C-alpha cells in the first residue's frame, strides 16, 4: 500500500479547519494518554500561528507531481475515507521536534510508520536541523530506529 504525506499550512484557515475535523479524534486519543500536556484547541492555535506544522497522510491512489501536492492535499482532506494519520513537528533551537504522531488503528501494523519516519527525516534534513527529537514512552522502538536517549527526549543525529 502506498501513502502520500502533505503539509497543511496554518495560514490556510479553510484547509486547517477541514484537517482538524479529521485529526481531532487522534489528538483526543493522545491527550487522554498524556493528561495536562495538550488539547486539540491548543494544538490548533499552535498550528494556526505557525509554531507547529501539521503533516497528514492518506492512502495514495495517484501520486501527483510535487508542484501540485498542496492542491491534492486540499482535495484529500475532503475525502476522509483515505485518511491514515498525521504527525506534528515543531522547529526547536537545535532540532526538529516530532511533537505528536497518530496512526489510525487499521494502519498501525503496516509500513505507514516507517514511511512516515522517512518523511520526517526528509523534512528535518530540508530545514538543516542537526537533530530530530521526540518524547515517548516507546524506548525500545526509538533505540531500534537509531535514537540515543537523553533526559526526556530521544535524539537522532542527522549528519547535517
Q: Among 71-75, 139-143, 145-149, 152-156, which is the least confidently predicted range?
A: 152-156
C-alpha span between 72 and 88 (Å, rounded): 19
- Mapping DSSP to helix (H, G, I), strand (E, B) and coil, where does residue 146 land? coil
State the cell numbers at 126: 530540508
Please give the residue range of the domain that contains residue 32: 3-129
* 136 part of a folded domain: no
CATH of the domain at 113: 3.40.630.30
Task: Report DSSP state, residue 80.
Answer: G
Q: What pLDDT digit, counting tens, does each position of 77-109 carry?
A: 887 888 999 999 999 888 999 888 899 999 888
Q: With contact defined as beta carbons under 8 Å apart, do 100 and 27 qualify?
A: yes
Q: Among 4-8, 38-42, 148-152, 154-158, which is the least confidently predicted range?
A: 148-152
* 150 part of a folded domain: no
**Is residue 159 very low, low, confident or very high in pLDDT (cuts 50, 70, 90)?**
confident
H or E segment at 101?
strand 96-103
The pTM score is 0.83
Q: What pLDDT digit, counting tens, does each position of 46-60 carry?
A: 999 999 999 999 988
Report the domain count for the chain. Answer: 1
C-alpha span between 121 and 104 (Å, rounded): 21
* 104 part of a folded domain: yes
* 67 part of a folded domain: yes
Q: How many residues does the chain have?
A: 160
Amino acid at each position: 500500500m502506498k501513502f502520500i504525506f502533505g503539509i497543511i499550512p496554518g495560514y490556510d484557515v479553510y484547509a486547517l479547519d477541514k484537517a482538524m475535523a479529521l485529526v481531532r479524534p487522534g489528538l483526543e486519543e493522545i491527550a487522554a494518554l498524556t493528561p495536562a500536556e495538550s488539547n486539540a484547541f491548543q494544538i490548533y492555535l499552535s498550528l494556526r500561528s505557525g509554531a507547529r506544522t501539521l503533516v497528514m497522510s492518506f492512502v495514495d491512489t495517484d501520486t501527483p507531481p510535487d508542484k501540485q501536492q498542496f492542491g491534492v492535499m486540499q482535495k484529500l482532506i475532503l475525502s476522509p475515507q483515505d485518511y491514515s494519520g498525521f504527525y506534528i513537528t515543531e522547529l526547536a533551537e537545535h532540532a526538529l521536534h516530532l511533537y505528536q504522531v497518530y496512526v489510525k488503528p487499521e494502519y498501525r501494523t503496516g509500513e505507514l510508520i516507517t514511511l512516515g519516519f522517512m518523511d520526517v527525516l526528509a523534512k528535518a534534513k530540508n530545514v538543516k536541523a542537526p537533530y530530530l527529537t521526540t518524547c515517548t514512552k516507546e524506548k525500545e522502538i526509538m533505540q531500534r530506529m537509531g535514537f540515543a536517549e537523553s533526559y526526556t527526549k530521544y535524539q537522532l543525529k542527522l549528519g547535517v
